[in-house]
Chain A
Amino acid sequence: DTGVSQDPRHKITKRGQNVTFRCDPISEHNRLYWYRQTLGQGPEFLTYFQNEAQLEKSRLLSDRFSAERPKGSFSTLEIQRTEQGDSAMYLCASSWTSGGRHNEQFFGPGTRLTVL
């Protein structure tokens, strides 16, 4: 399967614990996005990378959240000291962007986080 993959698919943790999610984008894609989706809502943008550079972070991304994309390949999203309000589906998407072409984003299956 050459689509976007995410690991784990489900994560249950206790409040105050740290969690880390991984996203593997489509291999030739240079952009990688993280979104968060809560029940009954559409996905909301968190942050994105152009190759290895993190170029924008949403105000939703508090200082407990950190994302990396070493070497411009896979990405990790870490949440420190989790809170119950962090419970959500975390979606990763990737796209190829060059010369202003408007290519669609391809989404992974998501990681569902439950904070008890």
Chain B
Amino acid sequence: AQSVAQPEDQVNVAEGNPLTVKCTYSVSGNPYLFWYVQYPNRGLQFLLKYITGDNLVKGSYGFEAEFNKSQTSFHLKKPSALVSDSALYFCAVRVPMDSSYKLIFGSGTRLLVRP
């Protein structure tokens, strides 16, 4: 079955330090991978995607993610965290042979950046 795992319910980091939010996937074929962020009482906002090409993908608000096929991972990273980055982060995968293009989401990781 196609699935996405976010092994950490919460990640705590001090402002100015680098952050990593982990994501692993289980998908047949070459996956299309996405990161979304959700702020309270708001919908999901797109951060970045990996379709093909360079394994390091840069996205909005200084975030980037690295696709690692051998480890089936797509970790989200940022060199220097801001308090305003505190939010709920979702990793999602789209199965390449699924014509619906529906997204399969992980359970989410809450990022808390302390001042």
Q: Which residues of A contact B (CB under 8 A)?
A: 4, 6, 31, 33, 35, 40-45, 48, 55-56, 91, 93, 95, 97, 102, 104-110
Residues of B within 8 A of A110 (CB): 43
Residues of A within 8 A of B103 (CB): 33, 35, 43, 45, 105
Residues of A within 8 A of B108 (CB): 40-42
Size category of the B interface is 20 to 34
Residue in A56, A97, A109 whose CB lies within 8 Å of B42? A109
Residues of A within 8 A of B107 (CB): 40-42
* A116-B104 Cα distance, complex, nearest whole Å: 29
The reply to whether A104 and B106 contact each other, CB–CB distance below 8 Å, is: no
The reply to whether A42 and B90 contact each other, CB–CB distance below 8 Å, is: yes
Q: Which residues of B contact A (CB under 8 A)?
A: 4, 32, 34, 36, 41-46, 49, 51, 90, 92, 94, 100-108
A56-B100 contact in complex given A41-B108, A42-B92, A42-B107, C-beta closer than 8 Å: yes
* A42-B49 Cα distance, complex, nearest whole Å: 17
Residue in B43, B49, B102 whose CB lies within 8 Å of A104? B49
Residues of B within 8 A of A102 (CB): 32, 49, 51, 94, 101
* A4-B90 Cα distance, complex, nearest whole Å: 19
A48-B100 contact in complex given A41-B108, A42-B92, C-beta closer than 8 Å: yes
A-B contact pairs, 23 of them (CB 8 A): A4-B43, A40-B108, A41-B107, A41-B108, A42-B90, A42-B106, A42-B108, A43-B103, A45-B103, A45-B104, A48-B100, A48-B102, A55-B100, A56-B102, A95-B101, A97-B101, A102-B32, A102-B101, A104-B34, A104-B46, A105-B46, A107-B43, A109-B42
